Every structure is written in structure tokens, then in C-alpha cells.
Structure 1
Amino acid sequence: MELSARTSPYHLPFLISTLFLFHFAAVTPIGVNYGTFADNLPPPAQVAQFLKDRTTIDRVKIFDANPDIIRAFSGTGILLSITVPNGDIPSLADPRTARRWVGSHIQPFYPQTKFQYILVGSEVLHWGDQNMKANLVPAMRSLHNALTRANMTTIKVTSPHSLGILESSDPPSLARFRPGWDRDFLAPMLLFHRRTKSPFMVNPYPYFSWTPKTEAFTLFRPNPGTRDRVTGKNYTNVYDLLLDAVFSSMKRLGFGDVKIAVGEVGWPSRGGPGMTHCTVENARWHNLNVVRKAGSGVGTPLMPGRTFETYLFALFNENLKPGSDDERNFGLFRPDFSAVYDIGIMRESQPGGSGAKPTPVPAAGKQWCVAKAEATDAALRANINWACTNGGVDCRPIQEGGACFKPNTTRSHAAYVMNSYYQAKGHQDFNCDFSKTGFVTAADPSYGTCKYSA
């Protein structure tokens, strides 16, 4: 995916989902895709420290091998997976080139940075040319052998795939990989995964199958489901159906024993005109259910009892991603680390919470004023202008060179000046109203050298 460019009325299912999540949040391995198609993101060191200190995310995928990001995760204990660019795949089929690649991209940072996977390309069968496809499995083998030779056998090699690898998915029991790809590329790859005990990684996106007619089925909401005419299994959400379609396709080739990992899955919180399904509530509800699925042990109709290592897409909203508005709004967080919505991954938040909150640091007896998640940039800019010109707020800290200038975003600057006004005027709730764009929190939004008064 990185290559391409209302409150729910179903209270009972939400309660059940929340209880599941509360029970499994501490043990569920949840990862996130850390993309960098933006010009307003915080430095990698701040990102790594934020994930370590403030969230339960314990694994991260990046779409390159950026040494600054790799270095930033040193000593954090967070598992990091890095990506080989698609264009480098043919050369890495050569064992000597693979050894040099490992020597330059892994060894200087190992073991201080805990590498989990080398991801060989991204959705290569979908996006790559014939030379990339033909050399994909050989490159995977060469990199695996290079890691073994360097005595770094805990690092596994895999490659994420779009579900364009499937010829069909419904009914899932009859699903199969695309002819030609199945025997030429996927069977040798699955054999590699079996021998190296590495997972077959796929990117199932229920979002891309959404239609107004299938909204409940796509978004894990109550619906009668769809029955597999062969097995009689009933599917009440498209996510289970897609995972079982991958499983059936693997089993058809004789590799039903190979583990499946979810490399990307997500839902945008905002879209362009007419994209009414791109809402904060839909994104929260979708990802809440994905997190529950990851480690609940429920599995799927064809894979009961399985857990799925899962990487949500994405860590941040990315303002430079090409395409429509939805592509730029898949993030769990804004660049100032405020949550777009809450799915229970913050260490101090309650699992399944419904409100988007700033990064919390408990401070008994103190309160701060911050911006609401749904506040628009236009409204927040108006807050800044009013507070700095008529509200008596000292706005030098948010000016260039000031302690709170970075990240240079409207939301971050607005939060600082709104809180400064609220504190100066005596901590009354109405001093944090700002035309219904502010709210009072007991979570300290301070970060780095930027300290919010209280």
C-alpha cells in the first residue's frame, strides 16, 4: 500500500469487543506501519521513545532501511522490520550482494536494534516487473543465508503481498492463487517459509471492499453473514473471509501449515467528497476489532484457535501521500502524537475507549486544555490568532526557535496556546471552550522541551 501512492448503535457487540480487548491487550502482539510520506513528522528518536513509553505497540514495520530510524529504535526493545526496495531485488539474488547488504544495513545496528524481519520488497507480484518477480524467492534465500552466515538466525525473511495474488476469494473454501503465480512464485516461496519457519505475509484490507450495501459485513457490525456453500461455514465479516481465502489457497498448494501474518490492515478516518465511510468512528471500530482478532485465540472459521501477528496501517497521517484524501488519513496518530481515536493501545488509556486523547502522562490534581479530535485546522488557526492577539497569551514558544515550535503543526500550536489561556484565566471549563473545539484533560500533553503549564 505504501507504494501506491456517528457513534455506533450496536452497544452490546461493542461491549463484548471491549471486554475481549481488555483481556488480551497485555499479551496481543500488535504492530504498526511507520510510513514517512510527510513533511511534518517528529524525529525518529521521538517516535521510538513515544511508542516505547506511551503505547503497547511492540513491533514496527518501515518501508525502507533508513539508518536514522533503525538507530532510533536501538535499546527500545521494540521489534523492527525493514524493507528492501523492489528495485534492489534482482541484485540481491546474488549471495555476495546479499551478504554486503546485510553487512551494511543490519550488522552495524545489531543486536542493539531488535530486528524481526527483512521484508523483501512490497507487494512485488502486484507491482513488480518480471525480473523482480523471477528473483524474489532467490533474493529471499540469499538474504536468509547471509543472516545465517552472520549468526543472526533470529531475524526472519518474508515478503508482504496484496490480495491481488488471489484469483478468487468467495467462497473462501474454493479460493485459489492466480494461475501461473501459484506454481511459479508462491509454491517455492511457501516452501521457503516452511523451511525457515517464517510467516507468509499478506495485506488484507476490508476497506477496499466497502460498498454502502456491504457496510455491516465490512465493518464487523451485526449482519446475517454469508455462508460458504461448500463447508457450510458462516462469515459475518469480510476480514475472516479474506484470511480464510488465503489459507485455502495455501492449503491447495500443500502449505496449510505455514503461518499467516498480517502485514497491513487499516481504515482511514477521513476521505474526500462522497467518501462517507471514511470517519473517525468507522476507523476506530474497524481497528478495534482487528486488534481483538489478532490475539483473541478465536481465529477464523477455517483456522479456529489461531492468532495473527498484525501490523496496523498506519502510525501517522501522512500529508504528502499521493492519491485521494483517504490515503493521507490512515494514521492512528497525528504528527504531534495526539490520537486520532482510541483503540486501547495507549498505556494510560482504557482499552476500547471512544475518545481521542492527547498523549497522557498522569499528574494528580492537575488539568490541561487541549484541542478536540474533531476540531478542524481552520478553527484551530482561529484559536491561535485570537489567543495570541486578544487573549493575552505569550506565543513566543510556538514561534520558530521556540520550545514548542516543533512539530510545526496547527494542532500542536493550538493546543499550547489554548492551554496557556486556560491556565491564565483560572482553570474554569468555559475558558477551554473555544467555540466547542477544546476540552479539559488530566493527561499532561507536555513533550520533550515543550512544557505545558498547569
Structure 2
Amino acid sequence: MEILSATKLFFFLLLFSCHVSFLSSSATAAYSIGVNYGTIADNLPPPKEVANFLKTKTNIDRIKIFDANPDILKAFTGTGISVTVTVGNGDIPSIAKLPGAQAWIEKNILPYHPKTIIRYIAVGNEILATSDKTLIAHLLPAMKALRSALDLAKARSIKVSTPHSLGILSTSEPPSSGKFRKGYDKLIFAPILEFHKQTKSPFMVNPYPYFGYKPQTADYALFKPNGGVLDAGTGINYTNMFDAQLDAVYSAMKRVGYEDVDIVVAETGWASAGDPGQPGVSVENALSYNGNLVKHVDSGKGTPLMPNRTFETYIFALFNENLKESIPERNFGLFKPDLTPVYDVGILRHDQGVGPTSAVRAKIGRQ
């Protein structure tokens, strides 16, 4: 009886510890949410100041940058904030063979990792959208070469991927009809997805309901209450465009046999200012989209075709960037260059007295 009791006690304690661990991780939610840290501006604070701000004043624990900026990589040393580093599109051909990939890793990764936690290497950005045949042809070889270089350098924790725009789909409405572009499905995407499956790395996509905005579907795009859009193929009624876009990607992946590969949302966001008369662009709409996005992703509800999945999601962007070409492009930031919030989507640590925008933030709950 004493042995049985001890065994029961052991399993009780094991279950209790797992339960506590689950509650602890739930209590620190908001952490499937990261930010894209772009730097096309001449008025941004130094990277060290940015790193300290994110660590001490926000709940953000991951960032994505669009290069391998050494100043940023140094600044995030010891912060516990993970970084996704990007290979420039033009560098892809030079790293498509192992020696080039090893040289790139030697220069851009090994001096910083693991003191700076590098989570992913993003090989280029939206390469298929460039229609550059050379880049497209070298994309997967570059991903494979980087994977081999990381393994040889014993940096196996770093995953390799590449972000795609939703232009990779020939059909996305309704979501169940989602398909990759003809000719790209088996020749390009099946091999890329096979790479992700073999290396346990995610398929990265950049869904932007912002670009699909129409006044008649505004609430649907902004996560506001609406009647929804029916997918006749499945009988599912979609109540937000973000889920519909992700499920269209999932349907395309399923068609080529890779629905089990994880999806990471590498970019999504909403401009808070635009050109005169531009519909749908305002602080209120940016707050509604990004604020409700944070809630939705952190809920763990997933999407209708991918229930109970939490998608690692990177909001675009951390800062308003004043050297971008157009007014909307300059106004995707959650923060101004002086680190004050344009609006607060719920990532600020208000217990530390940060975030003078509580009145604006409160609107999220009233959308």
C-alpha cells in the first residue's frame, strides 16, 4: 500500500506541476506576438535603447529585422528577446552553395548567437513576388545550404524559412479553394514545404487584410462584429479576413500534401495614416485590427480549418519609418521614434506607468 500511495503521489505531483506550468505559460500570453523592426528612417533611437525599451516596457519577446544589422544583433545580447535575421534578396545566389552559406553564417550569425537569441533566418522577403527567375531558382538551394551551414556550426536551434506574400495563391476565396499558383505548386512549393517538414521549420506568410479592404467589408477586415462570409465548400462562416487568408494558405498546402507544416505570420499590420481621402486608414482602424489581432492570436482558438493553433505572429511594424515612399507606408508603426505609442494594442506594461493612450486602447473592447 505504501508503494501504491507513493506512486499515486508521484503522478499527482507530476500532474500538478504540469498544470501550474500551463497556467504560468498562459499567464504570460501575448508572446506569440512579435514585431517587425524596420529601419528605413533617419530619426530612430539607437538599437540599444530600443532593446532596453522592448525588454523593460513591453511584453514583446521576439523581433524580426530585414537584414543582419550588427548593431541590432549586439543590442539584443542578453535581453531574452529572440531575433529573426533576414538574408537580403540580392545575397541569395551567393549563399546557394555551402561555402557561401558558411561564410554568411560566419559573418552574420556566429559572432552573436547564442548570447543574442537568433530564432529564424528568413531567406529574402517575398521572393516569388519579385518574379526574378534567378532568385526563385536559388531560393531553396540557399535555404538548404544555410541549414547545412548551421548544422556544421552546431547552431541547430536556428530555423530557416522564407516569407511569402499571398500573391503565391492563384485562388483564395473561398478559403477552402485556396491553391498555389499554377506551375509553382509542385515545382516550387512542394519542395519548399518538404524542406520545412524535414527540418521542422515553419512556412512563413504575410497576410494583410489591409490590402483587401473595401468599405462594404470593413468590419470583416477589422475583426469587428459582422455577419460573416460563407464558404460554400465547407459550410463555414468566416467572421474575419485574417482567418480566411490563413485558411486559404492552409488549403493550398493541403492540396500538395503538407497541411501538417507549421505556419508563422511573418508580417501583418494596418496603417494609421494615409493619403487624403484614402478609405479605411486611421488610428482607430489600425488599433482595431492590430489590437483585435493580438487578442485573437493569443486566444489559441486558431482558425476554422486549423482549430486550437496559436500562430506566431509578427506585427508590421515597430516604428513609423519616415523615409518610406508613401504616407501609408510611413505610418504602420506601433510607436513613434521617441518611443511613445501611436496607439496601444496591449503590449505595453501598464504596471510600469507606460502608455498614455489608455483612452484609445479602451476602444478595442468596444469595437
What TM-score results when the alignment is normalised by the length of structure 1? 0.71
How far apart, CA to CA, are the structure 1 residues paired with 2:227 and 2:355? Answer: 26
Provide, for residues 354-395 of structure 1, a one-character-per-residue CA deviation record: whole Å limited to 9, x for no partner: 9627xxxxxxxxxxxxxx99xxxxxxxxxxxxxxxxxxxxxx
How far apart, CA to CA, are the structure 1 residues paired with 2:189 and 2:93? Answer: 17
Provide, for residues 74-115 of structure 1, a one-character-per-residue CA deviation record: whole Å limited to 9, x for no partner: 111100011001111111111111011101111111211100
Larger Rg: 1
- Report whether the alignment pairs 1:210 with 2:210: no
Partner of residue 307 from structure 1, selected from 307, 310, 331: 310
How far apart, CA to CA, are the structure 1 residues paired with 2:319 and 2:340? Answer: 10
Q: What does residue 346 of structure 1 align with?
A: 348
Matches for 1:228-377 after TM superposition, within 5 Å: 228-322=231-325, 324-348=326-350, 356=357
- Report whether the alignment pairs 1:42 with 2:45: yes
How far apart are 1:169 and its partner, in Å? 0.5
Structure 1 residue runs of 5 or longer lacking an equivalent are: 1-22, 358-371, 374-454
How far apart, CA to CA, are the structure 1 residues paired with 2:297 and 2:235? Answer: 24
How far apart, CA to CA, are the structure 2 residues paired with 1:143 and 1:128? Answer: 23
How far apart, CA to CA, are the structure 2 residues paired with 1:149 and 1:165? Answer: 32
Q: What does residue 159 of structure 1 align with?
A: 162
Q: What does residue 431 of structure 1 align with?
A: none
Name the SS for the 2:92 alignment partner. helix
Partner of residue 105 from structure 2, selected from 88, 102, 107: 102
Aligned partners of 2:169 and 2:249 also within 8 Å: yes
Relative contact order, higher structure (CA 8 A, sep 6+): 2
- Report whether the alignment pairs 1:172 with 2:175: yes
* CA RMSD in angstroms, aligned pairs only: 1.7
How far apart, CA to CA, are the structure 1 residues paired with 2:212 and 2:279? Answer: 14
Q: What does residue 382 of structure 1 align with?
A: none
Identity of paired residues, percent? 56
Q: What does residue 22 of structure 2 align with?
A: none
Name the SS for the 1:31 alignment partner. strand
Q: What does residue 19 of structure 2 align with?
A: none
Q: What does residue 441 of structure 1 align with?
A: none
How far apart are 1:325 and its partner, in Å? 0.9
Q: What does residue 186 of structure 1 align with?
A: 189
Partner of residue 71 from structure 1, selected from 48, 67, 74: 74
Q: What does residue 402 of structure 1 align with?
A: none
Q: Which portions of structure 1, spanning 4 or more consecutive aligned residues, are displaced by more than 6 angstroms?
A: none
Q: What does residue 124 of structure 2 align with?
A: 121
Aligned partners of 1:24 and 1:296 also within 8 Å: no
How far apart are 1:212 and its partner, in Å? 1.0
How far apart are 1:343 and its partner, in Å? 1.3
Provide, for residues 42-69 of structure 1, a one-character-per-residue CA deviation record: whole Å limited to 9, x for no partner: 0011001100110000000000011111
Counterpart of 1:356, as a letter, is T
Structure 1 residues 174 and 201, CA gap change in structure 2 (3 angstroms):
same
Counterpart of 1:274, as a letter, is G
Q: What does residue 85 of structure 2 align with?
A: 82
Counterpart of 2:336, as a letter, is R
How many aligned residue pairs are there?
334
Q: What does residue 4 of structure 2 align with?
A: none
Name the SS for the 1:134 alignment partner. helix
Provide, for residues 230-260 of structure 1, a one-character-per-residue CA deviation record: whole Å limited to 9, x for no partner: 1101101111100000000000000000000
Aligned partners of 1:28 and 1:294 also within 8 Å: no
Structure 2 residue runs of 5 or longer lacking an equivalent are: 1-25, 361-367
What TM-score results when the alignment is normalised by the length of structure 2? 0.88
How far apart are 1:73 and its partner, in Å? 0.6
Counterpart of 1:62, as a letter, is I
Aligned partners of 2:340 and 2:355 also within 8 Å: no
Question: Of Structure 1 and Structure 2, which has the larger fraction of its residues in helix?
Answer: 2
Name the SS for the 1:138 alignment partner. helix
How far apart are 1:25 and its partner, in Å? 5.8
Aligned partners of 1:293 and 1:307 also within 8 Å: no
How far apart, CA to CA, are the structure 2 residues paired with 1:84 and 1:127? Answer: 15
